[in-house]
Chains A and B, each alone.
Chain A
């Protein structure tokens, strides 16, 4: 990873304000010739380059992250039903504002989630940590990660195999509820388990 950073950052310093054939995303400011004259005559001019307004909007081969997930065989219908019915049995964990501490009232429910995962060792779960949209993006991404990690650790402490559990923060980016009310914000301060096989 660091090697990649080395390579790429090293290229920053020698970047020139030129467009390549892909087109510039944002206009390079043109090189300019001084045109301020003291004798009252405009002697030279500066040219705003023609490619100033070109926009690079993707080459068409760019893939969204989802597109890189290799296609999977559909599981048999019985298993699909089972997955969705299992998914309906896991519950979200909720948190206080700016906190990532598992609350007492959620512990029984987390135990049920843990039992479900332990009884179905072929299941994997992605623990998504979410924040309400009050607060700022980077801090909420951090908070979401704390919530996801705290929930994952709690499930592991209850005996779930670490290999079954992955944590990811979604910060304030995917709210469950979009009203500006405390009851809505409370629903968004959550860790959500998405099951897969």
Chain B
């Protein structure tokens, strides 16, 4: 599977010198720094005109959002995939003429009543195919099928599928009640709770299967769990008062949560075996825990210094270290998958915005600005994007952007208020 990565030695995956080098790389990666990709055909049966158009659109969007590729539709519409004998010359010539490193060809058709996507990926320099893929599904699954194909190309370069197989959980008031919804990162949303109460602070497990959220029930805020595949549900924490902001441990060891049973808000770790470990102990309020990827640290919001700020603490104890120093309102931290960066909600000029800092708080940047509120930032599972909620369009909607604040895209369009995104991969284990 890593053949292409060797053939085309770009090696993004190994390019991890330091946090800010990564960061600056993201910031400076203009189209010219991306791998040029040419689409030599996205064709289909006559009955699939709309699907072909939609499929090409999704493919282009996936490649653009990967931040790795600059894709162009060469509009050749070659009817069949270039075969090995004639293809080598054609591919090599196209690669040279169009100055692209990779060529893609895809076709939509019918196979025993199912929609079939056949896709090929060619290494242009060597004129040979490196991936051939057939994906079967229904017409409704077209977007997911194209994501799979795009994911194959991203996988060649990074060893992961980028965000193509990721999903976002969030809160929407579409029904008039705040309920939890889940969508593939580019939609459409599906409602997964019907509590007809108030649901807040959803958290998706690292594999995207399990959901935790806080919900109000009469005078209490409890933590609820949903299995997104079986639909089974349970109350997992109902200490008197406030149980809120659950966060799944990224290696599967239960979750962290803010609980007020001790009189003020403290953070606990509810382990996979069900034991309860207190992680903070301070008269100030500690909420919104976020795990480092190795589970050895948590970042959280605390007002112990007089205003809400982000702190980091080892789960083995010791002192909490403050990592935000600018402004009087910094909340809702989330770690990057590499643990080198922390994104959070900051306050500037009377509005809330998205800020990012290095894990020890040495360098901080404000990523969004404008006369509106941006909140709830969370890293994509591949660490290349940040999702957040923003009121820039009048209501709150979910948006995504690159790590440097560029390429802001709205992801929800249901006319309701959509907030509190959490973003997880859903790639099956071993893939």
Task: Using CB atoms and an 8 Å cutoff, list the residues of chain A in contact with chain B.
Answer: 1-10, 12-13, 15-20, 22-32, 35-38, 40-42, 44-48, 50, 52-53, 55-58, 62, 64-66, 68-69, 98, 126, 134-139, 141-143, 145-146, 166-171, 173
Contact A141–B242 (Cβ < 8 Å) = yes
Contact A146–B274 (Cβ < 8 Å) = no
Instruction: Determine the distance from Cα of A28 to Cα of B230 in the docked complex, in whole angstroms.
Output: 9
Instruction: Determine the distance from Cα of A1 to Cα of B274 in the docked complex, in whole angstroms.
Output: 10
Which residues of chain B come closer than 8 Å to A22, judged between CB atoms?
230-231
Which residues of chain A come closer than 8 Å to B196, judged between CB atoms?
64-66
Contact B190–A25 (Cβ < 8 Å) = yes
Given contacts A36-B1, A65-B197, contact A31 B118 (CB under 8 A): no
- Residue of B225, B244, B431 near A141 (CB, 8 A) is B244
Contact B167–A26 (Cβ < 8 Å) = yes
Docked complex: B336-387 residues within 8 A CB-CB of A: 345, 352, 373, 375-376
Which residues of chain B come closer than 8 Å to A135, judged between CB atoms?
308, 329, 331, 352
The 6 closest A-B pairs by CB, nearest first: A6-B274, A48-B137, A64-B196, A58-B194, A138-B245, A56-B231
Contact A136–B144 (Cβ < 8 Å) = no
Contact A40–B84 (Cβ < 8 Å) = yes
Given contacts A5-B270, A57-B191, A65-B195, contact A32 B428 (CB under 8 A): yes
Contact A5–B237 (Cβ < 8 Å) = yes
Contact A56–B192 (Cβ < 8 Å) = yes
- Residue of A10, A65, A138 near B332 (CB, 8 A) is A138
**Main SS of chain A's interface residues?**
loop
Contact B231–A24 (Cβ < 8 Å) = yes
Contact A9–B274 (Cβ < 8 Å) = yes
The stretch of B25-33, B214-222, B311-319 in contact with A is B214-222
Instruction: Determine the distance from Cα of A36 to Cα of B276 in the docked complex, in whole angstroms.
Output: 46
Instruction: Determine the distance from Cα of A141 to Cα of B83 in the docked complex, in whole angstroms.
Output: 62
Instruction: Determine the distance from Cα of A44 to Cα of B200 in the docked complex, in whole angstroms.
Output: 43
Which residues of chain B come closer than 8 Å to A166, judged between CB atoms?
219
Which residues of chain B come closer than 8 Å to A15, judged between CB atoms?
209-210, 227, 229-230
Contact A136–B131 (Cβ < 8 Å) = no
The stretch of B10-18, B89-97, B252-260 in contact with A is B252-260
Is B50 an interface position by the 8 A CB rule? no
Total A-B residue contacts, Cβ distance less than 8 Å: 242
Contact A48–B135 (Cβ < 8 Å) = yes
Closest to B351 in A: A134
Given contacts A56-B231, A142-B258, A171-B200, contact A5 B236 (CB under 8 A): yes
Q: List 29 A-B contacts (CB under 8 A).
A: A4-B234, A5-B270, A7-B274, A8-B236, A9-B254, A15-B209, A17-B229, A19-B229, A20-B232, A22-B230, A23-B231, A35-B134, A40-B84, A46-B135, A47-B136, A53-B140, A65-B196, A134-B352, A137-B201, A139-B285, A139-B288, A139-B301, A139-B303, A139-B331, A141-B242, A141-B244, A142-B287, A173-B178, A173-B200
Instruction: Determine the distance from Cα of A14 to Cα of B256 in the docked complex, in whole angstroms.
Output: 20
- Residue of A1, A18, A48, A126 near B144 (CB, 8 A) is A48
Contact B244–A10 (Cβ < 8 Å) = no
Instruction: Determine the distance from Cα of A19 to Cα of B209 in the docked complex, in whole angstroms.
Output: 12
Question: How distant is B245 from chain A, measured CB to nearest CB, in Å?
Answer: 4
Which residues of chain A come closer than 8 Å to B260, judged between CB atoms?
142, 145
Question: How distant is A100 from chain B, measured CB to nearest CB, in Å?
Answer: 10
Which residues of chain A come closer than 8 Å to B427, judged between CB atoms?
29
Which residues of chain A come closer than 8 Å to B230, judged between CB atoms?
15, 18-20, 22, 24
Instruction: Determine the distance from Cα of A143 to Cα of B265 in the docked complex, in whole angstroms.
Output: 10
Is B73 an interface position by the 8 A CB rule? no
- Residue of A48, A65, A134, A168 near B145 (CB, 8 A) is A48
Contact B345–A31 (Cβ < 8 Å) = no
Given contacts A36-B1, A53-B140, contact A142 B265 (CB under 8 A): yes
Instruction: Determine the distance from Cα of A106 to Cα of B169 in the docked complex, in whole angstroms.
Output: 41
Known contacts A29-B428, A52-B141, A139-B301; 8 further A-B pairs (Cβ under 8 A): A3-B274, A10-B273, A13-B272, A22-B231, A45-B135, A55-B190, A64-B196, A138-B287
Which residues of chain B come closer than 8 Å to A126, judged between CB atoms?
219
Instruction: Determine the distance from Cα of A4 to Cα of B214 in the docked complex, in whole angstroms.
Output: 16
Is B280 an interface position by the 8 A CB rule? no
Is B70 an interface position by the 8 A CB rule? no
Closest to B241 in A: A145
Closest to A144 in B: B242
Which residues of chain A come closer than 8 Å to B373, judged between CB atoms?
134
Instruction: Determine the distance from Cα of A58 to Cα of B239 in the docked complex, in whole angstroms.
Output: 26
Is B422 an interface position by the 8 A CB rule? no
Docked complex: B237-269 residues within 8 A CB-CB of A: 237-239, 241-242, 244-245, 252, 254-255, 258, 260, 264-265
